[in-house]
Structure formats: structure tokens, C-alpha cells
């Protein structure tokens, strides 16, 4: 039987958060519903963050209220603090994610606190999630390069990833936020992280600014990772990482994985339909 690779589909969140034009709630719901028909086990729907900082995600609760939920799919949301977690629980998110950075500059820019402060902010979120029986994913941004501080030491990534696991995150998603990573820098980073953390607890989240994301997935597969984040249509970017392009496109990742003999459970024809719709929502066609 073909070995399984899991895709976290992040287009409704990472894909849309950076769009300059406000996208209607009904269109966001339609995107999630189209994705729900593809066979994803996980769809990251939205984020419960400050609407002043990320206006595109201000309708998080309405989007989660409007989607048709498919059994077997977990609908996730980003929650940077307790306020976000409480809203996500009211909106019936099935999984939440906290997000830290391996570099101090991006931590300040993105979530307005130091790395150490962010871990303390996440502690009550993890405690509340444990009580509620909700799984929590942890992101580490800037795993090779930071828009503020330049190259990032692999040891810094390993330390933050370990701190998130110690808090109780079930999985750590390693974010190449800028899309500046190469198989060499991603490979070196993974080597250091894997000294502490087994591949089964890690995911790769690679933006595709320089067209290296597929290469970075291949090197990660060779190191044992079997979970990757991607975005239908290749949409995405972080408002606080200027110049960063979208996540690697899910349709190209799925095609590559199927060619390599992995099973994803995703229907390529339905995925193409969702990707076409995602692309139609972009301001820049
Ligand atoms: P803060 O800036 O430290 O300030 O917030 P605060 O906690 O004192 O709150 C300031 C204001 O935000 C207050 O409202 C709060 O009520 C409100 P005001 O009194 O000014 O009207 N607020 C909230 N509102 C809604 N939901 C909340 C919430 N929390 C506070 N949860 C905070 C810290 C993190 C919330 C803020 O800085 C923020 O929202 N930052 C945006 C972070 C973000 O969404 N970044 C993009 C996603 S991360 C990403 O893309 C990277 C990733 O893809 C991986 C990768 O590629 O590397 C995951
Ligand atoms: Mg991202």
C-alpha cells in the first residue's frame, strides 16, 4: 500500500490573509466548501487575531459558522492568545494553532512580543485546550531566514520547536515564512531539529517566493517528514513579511506526491476546481 502524506490546506487562512481587497464572507465559505469536497483531513479556515492588524480575518466566526463540515475533516484556526482561543471555541474550531518565531525581529513584528513572552502567552491557551480536548498545533516562523534579522540559526528553530512541544503542541509546523529557504538551508535546519524532535511530530510549511518549495518538500520527505502545509492556487503570504509570496500550491504538491508514489487521499480534479476558485479571489490575476 502507498505510504501516506498528509496535507494541511491553508489557503482560506494563509492564502487570503494577505489579500489587499476585502473578500466577502460568502466567497470564503465557498472556498472552504470546495476544499471540503477534495478529501483533506485538515483545513486551516481562518485566524482569531486582532482585526486592526489583519482586517481580512475579521469575519473568522462567521466563516466557521457558515461552512458545511465534512466528517473526517478537521477545521482549524490560528489563536495567538486566550482571547482568540475563546472565540475559536465558540465558533467550534476543531483544532487551533499557536504561532511563534525562531527570530526575535519577526516575533515582535508579527505578534508584538518577544519569543519568550510568546511562549508564556501560549501557556494558558494550551491549558484551556487540554481541558476542552482540542488539539493544538505549533508554528515556528522564519526557520531559515527572517525579514528583520537575516539568516536564522538552526539551533534557534530547535529551541522554539522544543518549547512548543513541551507546552503540549501535538505537531510543529516549520515555516519558511519568506520562501527564501533552499534544500541546503532547510536540510541543515532539519538535521538540527531532528536531533531533538522525531520527524513524526514535524510538518513543513514552505512559501514559494523563489520557486524552491517543491525541492524543500523533497528534502524534507528524504528526512522523514510526512506532513506538509500548502495553499490551493499557491495563494498566500504574511502581511508582516513584505515580499514573501504564497505558500507552495497544493495542486503541484499533490501532483508531485502522487508521481512519487505517495497517497494523499486528495482528488486532483476537485482540487483544481477549488484552486481555480481561490485564484479568482486574488486581486492580482
Ligand atoms: P497585541 O498587539 O500584543 O496587543 O496583540 P493586545 O493583546 O494588547 O491587544 C491589542 C488589541 O487587539 C486590543 O483591541 C485587543 O482586544 C485586540 P483594541 O483595544 O485595540 O481595540 N486583540 C484581539 N482581537 C481579536 N482577537 C484576538 C485578539 N487579541 C488581541 N485574539 C496579537 C497580539 C497577536 C493579537 C496581535 O499582534 C495580532 O493580531 N497580530 C497579527 C498576527 C497575525 O495574524 N499574523 C499573520 C499570521 S502568522 C503567519 O502568517 C505565519 C505562518 O503562516 C507560518 C509562516 O509562514 O511562517 C503561521
Ligand atoms: Mg505562512
* pLDDT tens, position by position, 146-165: 999 999 999 999 999 999 99
Residue nearest to atom 15 of ligand 1 (CA): 50
Q: Which three cell numbers stand for residue 214?
A: 517543491
Domain presence at residue 233:
yes
Work out the widest C-alpha separation in the chain, in whole angstroms: 48
* Residue found under cell 490546506: 9
Place of cell 507552495: 248
Instruction: For residue 239, name the pLDDT band (cuts at 50, 70, 90).
Output: confident
Confidence band for 55, pLDDT divided at 50, 70 and 90: very high
Q: Give 238 Cα–ligand 2 centroid separation in angstroms.
A: 6
Mean pLDDT computed over 254-260: 98
Verify whether residue 146 is a known catalytic residue.
no
Q: At what angle do helices 250-259 and 213-222 cross, to 10 degrees?
A: 40
CB-CB contact of 76 with 97 (8 Å): yes
Q: Is residue 106 part of a domain?
A: yes
Please work out whether the CB of residue 56 comes within 6 Å of at least one atom of ligand 1. no
Closest residue to atom 13 of ligand 1, CA basis? 50
Q: Is the pLDDT of residue 284 over 80?
A: no
Q: Which domain holds residue 14?
A: 6-281
Q: Which residue's CA lies nearest to atom 33 of ligand 1?
A: 111
Question: Which whole number is the average pLDDT over 71-82?
Answer: 98
Residue 175 near ligand 1, beta carbon < 6 Å: yes
Cell numbers representing residue 204 in the block? 513543513
Lowest-pLDDT choice from 33-42, 86-95, 238-247 = 238-247
Mean pLDDT of 112-137: 98
Which of 9, 19, 42, 49 to mutate to test ligand 1, by most ligand atoms within 8 A of the CB atom? Answer: 49
Residue 168 included in any domain: yes
Within a domain: 1: no
Q: Is the CB of 144 under 6 A from ligand 1?
A: no
Instruction: Please work out whether the CB of residue 61 comes within 6 Å of at least one atom of ligand 1.
Output: no
pLDDT at position 245 is 87
Residue 238 CA, closest ligand 1 atom number? 50
Residues with CB under 5 A from ligand 2 (ion): 14
Considering the candidates 38, 142, 146, 238, report the single residue annotated as catalytic: 238
pLDDT (tens digit per residue) in 167-215 = 999 999 999 999 999 999 999 999 999 999 999 999 999 999 999 999 9
Strands 150-151 and 171-176, by their bridges, are: unpaired
- What is the pLDDT at residue 283? 81
Q: Quick check: CB of 95 below 6 Å from ligand 1? A: no
Q: How far apart are CA 243 and CA 160, in angstroms?
A: 25
Report whether pLDDT(266) > 90. yes
**Residue 31: C-alpha distances to residues 49, 140, 146, 243, 273 (Å):** 20, 26, 30, 25, 10
77 CA distance to ligand 1 middle (Å): 13
- What pLDDT shows up at residue 111? 98
Over range 223-247, report the average pLDDT. Answer: 93
Look at ligand 1, atom 9, and give the residue with the nearest C-alpha: 50
Please give the Cα distance from 103 to 158 (Å, whole number): 12
In a domain, 162, yes or no: yes
Sign of the dihedral defined by the CA atoms of residues 166, 241, 43, 232, in that order: negative
Please state the domain count of the chain: 1
What pLDDT score was predicted for residue 106?
A: 98
- Our answer on whether the CB atom of 54 is closer than 6 Å to any ligand 1 atom is yes
Task: Give the ipTM of the model, two decimals please.
Answer: 0.98
- Return d(Cα 90, Cα 61) in angstroms, integer: 8
- List Cα–Cα distances, 76 to 11, 26, 37, 150, 224, in angstroms: 12, 18, 16, 30, 24
Residue of minimum CA distance from atom 36 in ligand 1: 111
Domain-embedded: residue 201: yes
- Give the distance (Å) from ligand 1 centre to CA of residue 112: 8
CATH number at residue 64: 3.20.20.70
Amino acid at each position: 500500500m502507498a505510504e501516506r502524506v498528509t496535507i494541511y490546506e491553508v489557503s482560506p487562512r494563509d492564502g487570503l490573509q494577505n489579500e489587499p481587497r476585502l473578500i466577502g464572507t460568502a466567497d470564503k465559505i465557498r472556498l472552504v466548501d470546495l476544499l471540503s469536497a477534495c478529501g483533506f483531513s485538515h483545513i486551516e479556515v481562518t485566524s482569531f487575531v486582532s482585526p486592526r492588524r489583519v482586517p481580512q480575518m475579521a469575519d473568522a466566526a462567521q466563516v466557521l459558522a457558515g461552512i458545511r463540515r465534512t466528517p473526517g475533516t478537521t477545521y482549524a484556526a490560528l489563536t495567538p492568545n486566550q482571547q482568540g482561543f475563546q472565540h475559536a471555541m465558540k465558533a467550534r474550531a476543531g483544532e487551533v494553532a499557536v504561532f511563534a518565531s525562531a527570530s526575535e525581529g519577526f516575533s515582535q513584528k508579527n505578534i508584538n512580543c518577544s519569543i519568550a513572552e510568546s511562549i508564556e502567552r501560549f501557556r494558558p491557551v494550551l491549558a484551556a485546550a487540554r481541558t476542552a480536548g482540542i488539539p493544538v498545533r505549533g508554528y515556528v516562523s522564519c526557520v531559515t531566514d527572517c525579514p528583520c534579522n537575516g539568516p536564522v540559526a538552526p539551533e534557534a528553530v530547535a529551541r522554539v520547536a522544543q518549547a512548543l512541544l513541551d507546552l503540549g503542541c501535538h505537531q510543529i509546523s516549520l515555516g519558511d515564512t519568506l520562501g527564501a529557504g533552499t534544500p541546503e538551508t532547510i536540510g541543515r535546519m532539519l538535521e538540527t531539529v531532528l536531533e531533538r524532535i522525531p520527524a513524526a511530530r514535524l510538518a513543513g510549511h514552505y512559501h514559494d517566493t523563489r520557486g524552491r518549495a517543491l525541492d524543500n518538500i523533497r528534502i524534507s520527505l528524504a528526512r522523514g517528514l510526512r506532513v506538509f502545509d500548502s495553499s490551493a492556487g499557491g495563494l498566500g503570504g504574511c502581511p508582516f513579511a513584505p515580499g514573501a509570496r504564497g505558500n507552495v500550491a497544493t495542486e503541484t504538491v499533490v501532483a508531485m506526491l502522487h508521481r512519487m508514489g505517495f497517497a494523499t487521499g486528495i482528488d486532483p480534479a476537485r482540487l483544481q476546481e477549488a484552486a481555480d476558485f481561490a485564484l479568482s479571489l486574488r486581486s492580482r490575476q
